[in-house]
Amino acid sequence: MSKIKSLLLKIFLISFILFTMNGCSTVMEGVQSQMEVPTLENQANRVAIGMTIVRENNIMAFKMPISSDATWPSLVAADINKSEDKFIIDSLMAEPYFSTVHYTENIQREMLGSSASMGMLGDYANITSAVLNQTVKPLTKRAVQKIIILYGRNKANWPNIFNFDGSLDNFLEFKDGKIKDIEALSGDVYATIGEAVISLTPVNMQKDLTIARADMLDGFAEVASVKSQKGELESELKADSVTTQEKLNLEKKIALIDAKISQAESIANEKEAIYFQLLDQAAVALESDINIDDKNYVNLAKNINIVSNEIQVGATQAYISFGLAASNIASSNILLNFPKELESLAIGKVYIPANLQSKYNERVMRLVKNAVYLLPNMLIGTYYADKQSRLAKKYENVTNIILLAYKTKIQQEAAAKEDAQKTSKKSKSK
């Protein structure tokens, strides 16, 4: 029986190693989340990455100028090569969590065990988790890759992505960091991909699209505002110090906020539907009004298409980050074990080298603060990820029509050229 168990363990180890090496980022993230120590800190870091991806999506959608010859779209969509991977890991190793986690991981694993899903391995769970766990998770690498592209390689200009802000206002913005200057562009430059998409549509539709787009964004902002209010109230509700009477008062306030959220979402959804309907009409109109003979027009559509697709990919990655954090918290008694987690960090402090003590203190202080704001950030982030994905999909649909028409034209020209060459050969042979 022991031989069978040992064989199953080996198969499990090999399968997971191959799975993590060859899977996409989101699949790998799911696997890796089961390897790590089930701590609230790991889930807070995962939520922070989800927030980072949503904010990067916001930058790509609303902060980055775009033109037919802009290079940043292809950069944000590119895979991470070996040298970039090393730079990302080296950069993160200076961060408070990553620079000290190696000194505390074994202690925390002994005190907190492994994830609930690893329980099927029994005594082998901790060994398996320790062997397969990666300190820097796949989606963290992808998020930092975009930070490098958007903010440059100078880490002094990067936002602090793991530090939850005490205020939930202006959720979509990084509170620090400096976006790098965009390379000089030739041709027409548009402030955002939304404005660029509208420029591709028939002229007689552009004014209505511009007005509808602004109304929709106002609707989204109102929803986020009331959701942030609910998130803060729910954080207060979960505090250990809250009294029974305070709990009742908070629950009443949350009920009132829920009604406001429902109303705000209804209005925002109506505004979104109006804008999307206009985009659908524009897409239909484009089929008979495409300027595919203009190279800049086609190249602009290509760039918008790349960014739109990447925003959708990013939104999915954010969903994964938030969803894994939520499911891990629900399945592994992470909230109940939080006092023990803090105790493990207190014990682990003696193993931290003197030169890293200040970083360790920062790590612990950040965890205590992030724990309070984890849930509201997750809720707001999920809402925005959904909206970003839906909007980007519409932009992709519009540009797909242009790119398909251009592809068809190229294929027809190639076919005509081939027919001409065949005709010429026949004439010569005669």
pLDDT in tens, 21-77: 444 666 677 777 777 888 999 999 999 999 999 999 999 999 999 999 999 999 999
Backbone angles phi, psi at 189, to 5 degrees: -115, 135
Confidence of residue 245 (pLDDT cuts 50, 70, 90): confident
Over the stretch 287-324, which tens digit does the pLDDT of each residue have? 887 888 889 999 999 999 999 999 999 999 999 899 98
Sign of the Cα torsion 52, 53, 58, 60 reads positive
Amino acid 118: pLDDT? 56
Model pLDDT, residue 167? 61
Burial class (CB in 10 A: 0-12, 13-18, 19+), 114: buried
Mean pLDDT for all residues in the chain: 84
Helices (H), 63-95: 72-76, 82-92
- pLDDT, tens digit, for every residue of 101-112? 999 998 998 898
Pick from 264, 277, 229: nearest CA to 379: 229
Q: What angle do CA 104, 43, 29 make, to 5 degrees?
A: 100
pLDDT of residue 5: 43
pTM: 0.83
Dihedral sign of CA atoms 371, 96, 22, 114 in order: negative
Per-residue model confidence as pLDDT tens digits over 364-397: 999 998 998 888 888 888 988 998 999 999 999 9
> What residue type is assigned to position 288 of the chain?
S
Nearest to 228 by CA among 311, 172, 160: 172
At residue 330, the pLDDT reads 85
pLDDT above 90 as % of the chain: 52
